[in-house]
Structure 1
Amino acid sequence: MNIQKYSIHDGPGIRTTVFLKGCPLNCWWCHNPESQKSNPEIMFFKEKCKSCGLCLKMCPQKAIEFVDGYPVTNEGKCNLCGKCTDFCTSNAREIIGKEMTVKDLMKEIIKDEAFYDESNGGVTFSGGEPLMHADYLNDILRACKNRGIHTTIDTSGYTDWSQFEKIIDNTDLFLFDIKHMDNEKHFKYMGVGNTVILENLKKLSERGSNIYIRMPIIAGVNDDDKNIDAAVDFISKLNIIHVNLLPYHKMGMDKYVRLNKKYKLSGLEKPSDEVMDKIADKFKKAGIKTKIGG
């Protein structure tokens, strides 16, 4: 989906973050909605569009029509041939997602080896959910390890344990998300339960893996005392390095419009510093090293 250079919030040091498409969760606040589908898709930037109609004329599938003066793509007809993006003079249309071989991806990763060496950084694989592509992921992880590049996996934890077993030996660090401790609420806000996620986290801990816990904090969803206390109790029994508390933000909202999707948390605000400090104190009092932010 994307290769982000000079990333400093996805593990130690300066990193290259590789975002893979596809995710089994459907979090209400997802700030990368373009990562949810495994297949490539069209992103439309309405603010750039000149309504010239050239995309409509050039589409061989006749998959585009004008609605209220702007082009709308019929996903059922579109085969992502790219003609509409090639001929868009204002760059208002973009195909998100492409296939890359391990060799081609490694060419991009090793361009930044000097930064990894100087900062004790490396490569982070995120998404989406990278473990949806465990076989491919392990091939690229192995290639990184063969060059001495530090490897990190940013995961929701929602996958069969066998997928973790494929990549665990070639992964130096896991950034593991905990979004809600209540199974029913987890299903409501993420579209799946949390039983598998928590069991996988326990197993990673028992295996002695290096783990950072990432916990997004969303007002009215998971910031209540009951949920925070349950998370503190659960995490305090694990072998983890530290917890990152990530305050909710709205930075992904515009992407929903560009993908013709509905954003479910419209109007929600970032939690206050006071709320974040109170939550962080609960973790710290339990002896858990905790940081607000990535």
Structure 2
Amino acid sequence: MRGAKIPKKGEQEMKGVITEIERFSLKDGPGIRTTVFFKGCNMACSWCHNPETLSVKPQLMVYPKNCIGCGACVKACKAGARTIENGILHYDRSVCTGCGACAQSCFTGALVMSGKEMAVEEVMSEVLQDRNYYRNSGGGVTLSGGEVAAQPEFAVELLKALKNENISTAIETNLYAPWSVYESLMPFVDLVMFDIKVFDSSAHKKWTGVCNQRILENAKRIADSGKPYLVRTPVIPGVNDNEEEIGNIAEYVGGLGGARYYELLLFNPLGESKYDALQVKNDFAGTRPTKTEDAERLEQVAKRKSGLPVRVG
């Protein structure tokens, strides 16, 4: 692989924690892409449909319906987190070390580790398999998450390696990191896709855990940089699925100038099983996406306020 840095003897190779590498994606930027999902996030959106990406640490996901009670995981677990009593398997997450031995012993898919330490070379070996698809479709590689900016040093090294291979790059980000982080990423990024989730600052903090001032400031800096970008808003029932919120965001996005388009992403309910597998509370359990007629109404508001092409995904 051209341009890849080979660690010197005794030098520790930089690694990142990756949740998943998804090939042949058509939704994370132009063309056919490979999306690398970083683990760890600096926000805590109440509706997150990828809760396994919030913590940077590898986590065990448990799917009891797939379990056949063979007990292999009990033998593999050295921490005593997996036990079997009266033929019933039990899991004590509080003593789990996240080593993944139980998941490695489970052939039914009842236990799955979310998150794996990977070196830049390891990620590159996977994404380079589809180089021809990138070239023929105008695609490339997108770094997503979780949050890319939660592992900035690894992101920079991976982006450098991708550019050394002449692969088009994109990032998906919540923009909630110091601007210095994005300054380090920008030289190696061809497209920035970022979210503005809620315009009202107090409501933003209520639903995501942080205020949005830094996000709005960084959005302006991205726009002023001349880097190609587009903006997305997840449409969440009971949070921002109203004309006032979408209108305010759209107006701000239009005022930035230069966005390729503005996209409304309808609520994704498919994360419910992940909350169950992680054994964590899901505040949006049972919530369903905005109805078609309401989504169309919000689309028209977004078009009128932003002056941009608007997509609904």
TM-score normalised by L of structure 2: 0.89
Tell me the CA shift for residue 53 of structure 1. Answer: 3.0
Give the letter aligned to residue 288 of structure 1: L
Match of 1:86 in 2: 104
TM-aligned CA distance change 1:70 to 1:217, over 3 Å = farther
Q: Is 2:306 aligned against 1:292?
A: no
| Structure 1 unaligned regions, length at least 5 | none
Q: How does 1:13-162 map to 2 (within 5 A)?
A: 13-65=31-83, 71-162=89-180
* Mapped partners of 1:51, 1:110: distance in 2: 39
For 1:269 and 1:252, the matched residues in 2 are separated by 11
Distance 1:146 1:71, change over 3 A: same
Structure 1 window deviating more from structure 2 (179-188 vs 85-94): it is 85-94
Partner in structure 1 of residue 286 of structure 2: 267
CA positional deviation for 1:191 = 1.4
2:241 maps to which residue? 223
TM-fit CA distance, 1:67: 8.2
Q: What secondary structure does 1:196 align onto?
A: helix
Aligned length: 293
Determine the C-alpha separation between the residues in 1 that align with 2:38 and 2:45. 17
Q: Structure 2 counterpart of 1:105, which letter?
A: V
TM-score normalised over the length of structure 1: 0.95
Q: 2:210 & 2:245 partners in 1: Cα distance?
A: 17
Aligned 8 A contact 2:243 2:301 in 1:
no
Q: Which residue of 2 aligns with 1:173?
A: 191
Q: CA deviation at 1:138?
A: 0.9
2:35–2:142 Cα contact (<8 Å) kept: yes
Residue 66 and residue 175 in structure 1: after superposition, are their counterparts in 2 closer, same or farther (change >3 A)?
A: farther
Change in CA separation of 1:51 and 1:106 when aligned onto 2, cut-off 3 Å? same
Alignment deviations for residues 41-96 of structure 1 (CA, whole Å, 9 cap, x no partner): 10111110123333223311112245897544333422233321232242311111
The C-alpha deviation readout for 1:165-194, integer Å capped at 9, x for no partner, is: 100111110110111001111111111111
SS at match of 1:100: strand
CA displacement 1:139-163 (0-9 Å, x = unmatched) = 1111111221110000011111110
* 1:244 alignment partner AA: E
User: CA deviation digits over 1:265-290, x for unaligned, max 9?
Assistant: 12222111111111111222241111
User: Percent identity between the aligned chains?
Assistant: 37
> Which one of the candidate residues 271, 274, 279 is aligned to 1:255?
274
Instruction: Output the amino acid matched with 1:88.
Output: C
Does structure 1 retain, via aligned residues, the 8 Å contact 2:41–2:53? yes
How big is the shift at 1:12?
0.2
| 2:299 match | 280
**AA matched with 2:58:** P
Question: Runs of 5+ in structure 2 lacking a partner?
Answer: 1-18
Name the CA distance, whole Å, in 1 between partners of 2:205 and 2:152: 24
Give the direction of change, closer, same or farther, for the CA distance of 1:71–1:179 in structure 2 (3 Å limit).
Answer: farther
**1:188-241: per-residue Cα shift (whole Å, max 9, x none)?**
111111111111111111111211111111122101222122112211111311
1:226-267: per-residue Cα shift (whole Å, max 9, x none)?
A: 212211221111131111111112111101000101110122
Q: For 1:285 and 1:177, locate their aligned partners in 2 and report how far apart those are by CA, in whole Å.
A: 19
- Of 202, 223, 232, which residue of structure 2 is paired with 1:184? 202
Which segment drifts farther, 46-55 or 236-245? 46-55
CA distance in 1, matches of 2:183, 2:311: 29
How far apart, in 2, do the equivalents of 1:72 and 1:289 lie? 52
Aligned pairs for 1:224-243 (under 5 A) are: 224-239=242-257, 240-243=259-262
**Distance in 2 separating the partners of 1:179 and 1:265:** 16
